């Protein structure tokens, strides 16, 4: 399972959202704010650190911390093995894990939960 978790995290770092999403069920992609086309709406990351992996038989959990320019967040996943392949069946970004630099918080580039920044036109 560790190898699969690390491969998925590396796909995130490489910017390969299709490969990142391919390790997940459609429901798990949507839990991360995916657009229904396999592209989870998370800020770009430049590095990752596997914080915790717990494996028990055909299931397990993982916690991976991602960090990028001025933002970091954790992704917690629940994994199941089916047909010899590990697949994330649940995924979440714990709100308390999201950290952003002061300028991202000030200018709205880091929402309380990861996702694309929304444009706010001045009226």
Can you give the residue ranges of every domain in the chain? 2-107
- 95 confidence band (pLDDT: 50, 70, 90): confident
50: region left, alpha or beta (phi > 0 left; psi from -120 to 50 alpha): beta
Average pLDDT score, the chain? 81
* Radius of gyration over every alpha carbon of the chain, rounded to an integer in angstroms: 15
- Domain 2-107 in CATH 3.10.450.50? The answer is yes
d(CA 59, CA 78): 8
**Average confidence (pLDDT) over 66-89:** 92
pLDDT in tens, 10-25: 999 998 989 999 999 9
- 9 confidence band (pLDDT: 50, 70, 90): very high
Q: Label the pairing between strands 47-56 and 71-82.
A: unpaired
pLDDT in tens, 47-61: 999 999 999 999 999
DSSP, collapsed to helix, strand or coil, labels residue 14 as coil
Q: What is the pLDDT of residue 121?
A: 56
């Amino acid at each position: 399972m560790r190898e699969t978790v690390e491969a998925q995290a590396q796909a995130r770092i490489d910017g390969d959202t299709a490969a990142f999403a391919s390790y997940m069920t459609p429901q798990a992609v949507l839990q991360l704010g995916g657009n229904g086309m396999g592209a989870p709406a998370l800020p770009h990351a430049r590095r990752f650190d596997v914080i915790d992996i717990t494996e028990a038989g055909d299931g397990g959990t993982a916690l991976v911390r991602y960090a990028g320019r001025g933002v970091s967040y954790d992704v917690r996943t629940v994994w199941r093995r089916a047909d010899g392949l590990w697949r994330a069946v649940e995924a979440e970004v714990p709100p308390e894990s999201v950290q952003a630099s002061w300028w991202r918080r000030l200018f709205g580039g880091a929402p309380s939960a990861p996702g694309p920044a929304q444009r706010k036109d001045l009226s």
